Chain A
Amino acid sequence: MTNPSRQTLLGSLPASFDSGPEWLRALRGRAADALREQGLPTKRTEAWRFTPVRSVVDAEFSREEESAPSLVSAVPEGVAVRSLRQVLQAEPELLAGRLDLGGAPTHFAALNTALFSDGLWIDVPAGTAGEAPIELAHAISTSSERGVAYPRVLVTLGDNAELTLIETYAGGEAEQLTNSVVEVDLGRNAKMSHVRVHENAGLQVGRVDVRQGADSSYRSTVVTLGGALLRFDVRCLLQGKGAECQLDGAYLIDGEDHVDHHTLVEHQASHCRSAQTYRGIASGKGTAVFDGIVVVHRDAQKTEAHQENRNLLLSDTATVHTKPHLEIDADDVVCSHGVTVGSLDQEQLFYLRARGIPEDLAHSMLTYAFLKTIVDRVSHEPTRARMREALLTRLPHGDDIEGVA
């Protein structure tokens, strides 16, 4: 039985866009045209080779009305958090040229551009340091069984501005789709710490697009705790000299989860640094994918770029696909990448057991420690504690290893 209010994602694109400012209608129109021409990705699309995307592309969803994330913290002084919908109605010129700042989007991000109806704009003016973090909760409403939501967040930091942003994506049913876009624009010497936690998150496709000015710093920690189909893309454009980004991720996969992290760091200017450390644990029949690309443009001399992906494979039926790669067109660069897919370190395991710690407990301790080193990079203690807790509840013997570090 089909539900008349449901449509495929592509089928839900309107023929024309009639509301909103002229520039937005044009933006949406171009995104829709591109989608109609290229379609959504299939298994034959290189960047989607390992993602079982058909279950999303062919499915029918009904549109969820409310898709702005909710603000669950205070707003630091000097920082403005506004509804995108309201700004687009009242002062649309403020946002002209500030959406899709990384260029014309494709695939799911294009779908978001065409269809988002609301979202948040977090603006930190030049010189403002928002000390306390801003926390956003994305929870898809469950008014219908197969809903789709298009959350959109725009973060702009002026020169020398600072912000910590924490986003949690939680509570989706296996059949609810969240297709999010977060855009970040960092001015000269701006600093942003960005934490994203995906907990039991159903179907999710998410993109984070970061554009960095000179000497800016972007640090992101992603913690992904399972989900039916999760696909996250982060792209950092290092456009100003001396910018740096650090992308860290931890994922824990079990059951039939599929979790897919893609990163793209483009060194477009000289003297920039980037470092990526993703670590994951795959057990059950879960699948993890890591695909990281670092591109060093010809003029980006004195680049330093590092990339590391380490995986623990805890069952024979779990799968890890990992593909870090570097494309380097400059000659004066320091780059490295490394990948491991393995089991627990036997020497460490023996050391613990030789002190009397039972084997299964030793397993849990080492498994937890493996991911915890990523979580510990989050500077905001309450968030760190929450993540540790979330990891522990998902690990066998979690109760027994609470104080592990």
Chain B
Amino acid sequence: MLKIEDLHVEVDGKPILKGINLEIEAGQVHAIMGPNGSGKSTLAYVLAGREGYDVTKGRVLYKGQDLLEMAPEMRAAEGLFLGFQYPVAIPGVSNIYFLKAALNAVRKHRGEEPLDAIDFMKLSKEKAALVQLPDELTKRCVNDGFSGGEKKRNEIFQMAVLEPSLAVLDETDSGLDIDALKVVAEGVNSLRGPERAMLVITHYQRLLDYIVPDTVHVLIDGQIVRTGDKDLAKQLEREGYADVQGAQQL
């Protein structure tokens, strides 16, 4: 599904990612953990196609295509979804309108008929219920005046509607209370399937109790320094990054 080969990325001439290699097969869930500033969000943004990131070396294949050549909307249409660490508010654009436009753009790309207002409302109600997003929030402007946790729920709500093949979730768990965390995890798990894959960025082992990953990577200073199974996350929680990195270097 996703193959990242020796990816080097700079921002304003400063190297941030320094040779990332990562392969995710359909059906798998991978987690990335790492200290603040290690480049996790940078990787997520590069995958989604945000401007301002210089890929100086390496390549990314997504479903066999050169991902880095594609416009952001094309990546989304091909089933890539980024759950933002800090979702932006868009006053004046209603959440529900925006999501319908997004879904229909993706459907159009797949050669499907657009959903009409009634069918879309039905779908949106069903998905909002799944992530327990209050009706009132679906009708407000995109993330406008949402609390931190509400924004994260809104990300998962959008993911549930768009049903991506590869979801990159950037710290979707931070800022969530324990109940919300479970709800979000359920939303994510309901989407797991043999055709889909996920890349979950998190600081907390806790999330991985609910979304059990197949593989855990540790990203430090722009490089994946260790890869292991779900127990690696537990070890990180106990020992911290310094020890894990130290162990690697021995």
* B109–chain A nearest beta-carbon distance, Å: 7
Contact of B202 with A by CB under 8 A: no
Q: Please indicate which of the listed interface residues A355, A368, A370, A400 has the most CB atoms of chain B within 10 Å of its own CB.
A: A355
Number of A-B contacts (CB under 8 A): 91
Interface 9-residue window, one of A8-16, A109-117, A342-350: A342-350
CB-CB under 8 A from B92, the residues of chain A are 366, 368-370, 372-373, 376, 404-405
Decide if A348 touches B109 in the complex (CB within 8 Å): no
Contact of B158 with A by CB under 8 A: yes
CB-CB under 8 A from B76, the residues of chain A are 353-356
Interface bracket on B: 20 to 34
Interface 9-residue window, one of B8-16, B25-33, B58-66, B100-108: B100-108
Decide if B106 touches A356 in the complex (CB within 8 Å): yes
Decide if B72 touches A365 in the complex (CB within 8 Å): no
Decide if A353 touches B71 in the complex (CB within 8 Å): yes
> Which residues in window 88-145 of B have CB below 8 A to A?
88, 90-94, 97-103, 105-106, 109, 141-142
A368 to B92, CA, bound (A): 8
Contact of A145 with B by CB under 8 A: no
Decide if A359 touches B88 in the complex (CB within 8 Å): no
Decide if A350 touches B51 in the complex (CB within 8 Å): yes
A405 to B95, CA, bound (A): 8
Contact of A357 with B by CB under 8 A: yes
A163 to B69, CA, bound (A): 58
Q: Please indicate which of the listed interface residues A347, A348, A357, A362 has the most CB atoms of chain B within 10 Å of its own CB.
A: A357
Interface bracket on A: 20 to 34
CB-CB under 8 A from A401, the residues of chain B are 101
Question: In this complex, what residue of B is CB-closest to A369?
Answer: B92
Decide if B101 touches A351 in the complex (CB within 8 Å): no
* CB-contact partner of A359 in B50, B71, B101, under 8 A: B71
Decide if B98 touches A352 in the complex (CB within 8 Å): yes
Q: Please indicate which of the listed interface residues B82, B91, B99, B162 has the most CB atoms of chain A within 10 Å of its own CB.
A: B91
* CB-contact partner of A405 in B48, B71, B94, B162, under 8 A: B94
A121 to B71, CA, bound (A): 59
* CB-contact partner of A350 in B72, B91, B97, under 8 A: B72
Contact of A358 with B by CB under 8 A: yes
CB-CB under 8 A from B71, the residues of chain A are 353, 359
Decide if B93 touches A369 in the complex (CB within 8 Å): yes
CB-CB under 8 A from A376, the residues of chain B are 92
A356-B109 CB under 8 A given contacts A370-B92, A373-B91 = yes
A401 to B94, CA, bound (A): 11
A356-B90 CB under 8 A given contacts A365-B98, A404-B97 = no
A376 to B92, CA, bound (A): 9
* A96–chain B nearest beta-carbon distance, Å: 47
Residues on A lying within 8 angstroms of B by beta carbon are: 345-348, 350-359, 361-362, 365-366, 368-370, 372-373, 376, 400-401, 403-405
5 residue pairs, one from A and one from B, having the closest CB atoms: A369-B92, A356-B76, A355-B102, A353-B72, A405-B94
Query: 10 A-B residue contacts at CB 8 Å?
Result: A350-B51, A354-B48, A356-B103, A361-B105, A369-B91, A373-B92, A401-B101, A403-B100, A404-B98, A405-B93
Q: A353-B49, A357-B101, A369-B90 are in contact. List 14 more A-B contacts (CB 8 A).
A: A350-B51, A353-B72, A353-B76, A354-B48, A354-B72, A354-B75, A356-B109, A357-B98, A357-B105, A359-B73, A400-B101, A403-B97, A404-B98, A405-B92
